[in-house]
Amino acid sequence: TPAYDDMDYVATVSTGQPYDWPGGEAGEDEDAKRHILVTDCGLKYNILRQLRRRGCRVTVVPAATPGEDLLALEPSGILFSPGPGDPQMLDYVVDNTRQILGRVPVMGICLGHQIVARALGAGTFKLKFGHRGGNHPVKDLADGRVYITAQNHGYSVSAEKLPSGLEVSHINLNDQTVEGLRHKNMPLFTIQYHSEASPGPRDNEYLFDQFIDMVDDFQA
């Protein structure tokens, strides 16, 4: 099997065509006021369920979708999903992401967090010891709260030389690596861990509420 840094694994798992996701417990009305695009880098379906529960229409799009094509779908917000591999192999996704930043609210999860960070000009590196398992303590620097998180990643965003406006919002208490980012001037935040709790602790589903609040504020 090729190493993560030798192959673009996202291209092998991403959907080939956009599709509306019909499942969920709410948001069945196609006239829902929020239309969220999920860029499929290897997504988990509970992410889609979390959005539908919050009354969103959800469209899943290929990871390689150009930025202008994303905006042409008139999204209320865009979520970049988790997925496999080295973010350094994904220049085409990073370039497309750069085209939409600041123009629509954005949330990134795990690999999506790394893609958005790279699009903003941050660097990434391979961890000496990858984060695997359902019990990683993460500190929210805004209020000091500690959350137990599920993680499965071997790369991290570098906290050094972050671009202007981008700040670390969460850190891993085991090794002090970056677990979340926020932007001071753009409607954007990202997290390194799995907020969708499938599997894993449900402590972090509130982050989807924060994303929806950001979308609503941007539309107001």
- Judge whether 61 lies within some domain: yes
Q: At what angle do helices 91-98 and 111-120 cross, to 10 degrees?
A: 60
Known active-site residue 110: yes
CA dihedral defined by 47, 98, 150, 18, rounded to 10 degrees? 30
- Say if residue 122's pLDDT is above 90: yes
- Judge whether 74 lies within some domain: yes
Q: Are 44 and 80 in contact (CB under 8 A)?
A: no
Known active-site residue 196: yes
Q: In this structure, what token pair is assigned to residue 48?
A: 């889609």
Q: Which residue has the higher pLDDT, 166 or 135?
A: 166
pLDDT of residue 161: 87
pLDDT of residue 24: 44
Per annotation, catalytic residue among 136, 153, 170, 194: 194
Of 180, 196, 185, 211, nearest to 37 by C-alpha is 211
pLDDT band at residue 202 under the 50/70/90 scheme: low
- Judge whether 162 lies within some domain: no
- Judge whether 51 lies within some domain: yes
Q: Which residue has the higher pLDDT, 149 or 106?
A: 106
- Say if residue 101's pLDDT is above 80: yes
Residues 35-81: tens digit of each pLDDT: 999 999 999 888 999 999 999 999 999 999 999 999 999 999 999 99
pLDDT of residue 163: 95
Structural domain that includes position 198 = 4-124+180-219
Question: What whole-number distance in Å separates Cα of residue 147 and Cα of residue 18?
Answer: 34
pLDDT of residue 42: 95
- Say if residue 9's pLDDT is above 90: yes
Question: What whole-number distance in Å separates Cα of residue 6 and Cα of residue 126?
Answer: 13
Residues 159-192: tens digit of each pLDDT: 998 999 999 999 999 999 999 999 999 999 999 9
pLDDT band at residue 145 under the 50/70/90 scheme: very high
Provide the number of structural domains found in the chain: 1
- Write the CA distances from 52 to 71, 85, 138, integer angstroms: 20, 27, 26
pLDDT of residue 164: 94
pLDDT band at residue 25 under the 50/70/90 scheme: very low
- Judge whether 153 lies within some domain: no
pLDDT of residue 129: 87
pLDDT of residue 134: 83
Entry pTM: 0.92
- CATH of residue 114's domain is 3.40.50.880
pLDDT of residue 39: 98
Whether omega before 199 lies within 30 degrees of 0, making that bond cis, reads yes
Question: What whole-number distance in Å separates Cα of residue 36 and Cα of residue 52?
Answer: 10
Per annotation, catalytic residue among 35, 56, 110, 153: 110
